[in-house]
Amino acid sequence: MLVTERTIDREFVERMLEVSGQPFKQCMQCGTCSVVCPMQESTQLTPRQVMHHLQWGQKEALMNTNTPWICASCHTCEVRCPRGIDVPKLMEALRLQILRENKNFVEPFQIDKEQLKEAPQLAFVSSFRKHTS
Amino acid sequence: MKLGYYPGCTLKTKAINLEVSAVKSLEALGVEVEELERWNCCGAVYSLADDDLVHLLAPVRDLIRAKDQGLDKVMTLCSMCYNTIARANLLMRKDEEKRDAINNFLEEETDYFGEVDVVHYLQFVRDDIGWDKVAAAVKNPLKDLKVGPYYGCTLTKPGEIKIDDSIEPVSFKNLIEAIGAEYVAYPDAETCCGSYQIIGNPEAALKTTATIVESAEKRGADALILSCPLCEYNIGRRQADVRGLREGLEPLPVFYFTQLLAIALGLDIDTLHLDRNMPEAQKLLEDKGILATA
């Protein structure tokens, strides 16, 4: 990917800093977050790659990857980050960038009826909190 | 001793096996719980955005109810409720600006400054009762039962509200040994079960759950114990789907830790509500001769 002055979305970088409160520019790309991520089998970009794209203001790539939507907010990366960066907060900021445009990742009325009957309440509450606008 | 108790939505229905076994076990250990007279859903997950205060209102309202009821300590059973309410409490203690905004918004409610302590059941049993007392109260030691702990994420992460070490917790090990069972160590006791992804991305959640089940079985666990109704659903009641994803997995019964505690304390089988667990759970206890003597 070619990164030039024109491809860096500075407004997006500022927005992500504001919503997450996380100094992602301090990430040194050690990759610890990616090694410990329990969802790594299913994500397109690793957390380390997400951090790199954030540093370079690559909004389009980040809006089109499944990683923030697969992140389970487990904080396994956060407790191990040597730079003290709360990566799940950045994943939340990325999700909100889309959810705040009134887009849903999960459609509550399309959930399988059997699952509605069986799954515990907190599964739905947390899923809707993370994946609906 | 009276202890404030916040049940949360799932505990009254789909995780009644957690609530009843936990409350009855505490009674057997000499502690009576006082449920909040009025409570609402905590929101299940804590908001991770700095500009999102609205999602803090639900857990803060619960804390205000506890304060209004004269409670200085509130205990939760569900790990996710613990995480959400404890983090909201911490924010109300430390972040003056956000606290003022929330108190102003909830103008009809009592102002709240983080006066109530939020604890998880496991933490309460460990710190306020003690493993020695638990061991002394055991009437039915779970000999020959090899139990692996499953901590999940929300009890020990993030560090600001952890009840035990975030990377190498030991509370479940101490509990397993106190109730006379055999502790099984395995590498994935803190690996996330996929959490709420079971709704939006079920396959991604079941894949990580398969890793947990395989890892515990390889180390010889007969069963796992945990404290979160969502982990129980993903690892326990969805286990047939988990086994479909990876060859060679056997059924691995999953219990709430309070269910094994209740058995060890000699409580009646009715307190366990085993019909809410995966079917193999009751069978394991019968095969091991544990239920017959309960």
CB pairs A-B closer than 8 Å:
139
Sheet with strand B2-6: strands edge to edge: B32-35, B2-6, B73-76, B117-120
- Report if residue B129 sits inside a domain: no
- Report if residue B292 sits inside a domain: no
**More confident: A2 or B272:** B272
Residue where one domain finishes, among candidates B121, B148, B174: B121
Q: Please report, for chain A, how many H helices and E strands are present, in that order.
A: 8, 0
Evaluate whether B44 touches B199 at the Cβ level (below 8 Å). no
**More confident: B211 or B2:** B211
Q: Which of A24, A66, A116, A122 should one mutate to test binding to chain B, selecting the residue with the greatest count of B CBs within 10 A?
A: A122
Confidence of residue B293 (pLDDT cuts 50, 70, 90): very low
For position B44, which CATH number holds?
1.20.1050.140
Confidence of residue A2 (pLDDT cuts 50, 70, 90): confident
- Report if residue B79 sits inside a domain: yes
**A66-101 pLDDT tens trace:** 999 999 999 999 999 999 999 999 999 999 999 999
Residues B168 and B69 in one domain: no
**B130-146 pLDDT tens trace:** 999 999 999 999 999 99
Evaluate whether B120 touches B75 at the Cβ level (below 8 Å). yes
pLDDT value, residue B294: 44
**A6-20 pLDDT tens trace:** 889 999 999 999 999
Confidence of residue B269 (pLDDT cuts 50, 70, 90): very high
H or E element in which residue B5 lies = strand B2-6
Provide the domain count of chain B.
2
- B239 Cβ neighbours under 8 A, 6+ residues apart: B209, B213, B251, B252, B254, B278
- B248 Cβ neighbours under 8 A, 6+ residues apart: B214
- Chain A contacts of B50, Cβ < 8 Å? 18-21, 89
- A117 Cβ neighbours under 8 A, 6+ residues apart: none
The pTM assigned to this predicted structure is 0.96
Mean pLDDT of chain B: 96
Q: What is the CA radius of gyration of chain B?
A: 19
pLDDT at B2 over 80: no
Confidence of residue B92 (pLDDT cuts 50, 70, 90): very high
Average pLDDT on B139-163 reads 97
Cis ω on the peptide bond leading into residue B158 (within 30° of 0)?
yes
Beta bridge partners of B256: B226
Q: Where are the domains of chain A?
A: 5-101, 105-133
Owning domain of residue B12: 2-121
Residues B68 and B179 in one domain: no
Are residues B50 and A42, on separate chains, in Cβ contact within 8 Å? no
Q: Give the end-to-end CA distance of chain B in Å, rounded to a whole number.
A: 27
Residues B177 and B280 in one domain: yes
CA–CA separation, B107 and B91 (whole Å): 18
Tokens for B23, please give them.
Answer: 């409350």
- Report if residue B165 sits inside a domain: yes
pLDDT value, residue A72: 98
Nearest to A122 among B47, B78, B205 (CB): B78
CA–CA separation, B97 and B114 (whole Å): 14
Are residues B208 and A130, on separate chains, in Cβ contact within 8 Å? no
For position B144, which CATH number holds?
3.40.50.11810
pLDDT at B292 over 70: no
Q: In CATH, what number does A5-101 get? A: 1.10.1060
H or E element in which residue B148 lies = strand B146-149
Residues B112 and B152 in one domain: no
- Report if residue B126 sits inside a domain: no
Residues B173 and B77 in one domain: no
DSSP string of B251-265, one letter each residue: P--EEEHHHHHHHHT
CA–CA separation, A12 and B47 (whole Å): 20
Residues B140 and B264 in one domain: yes
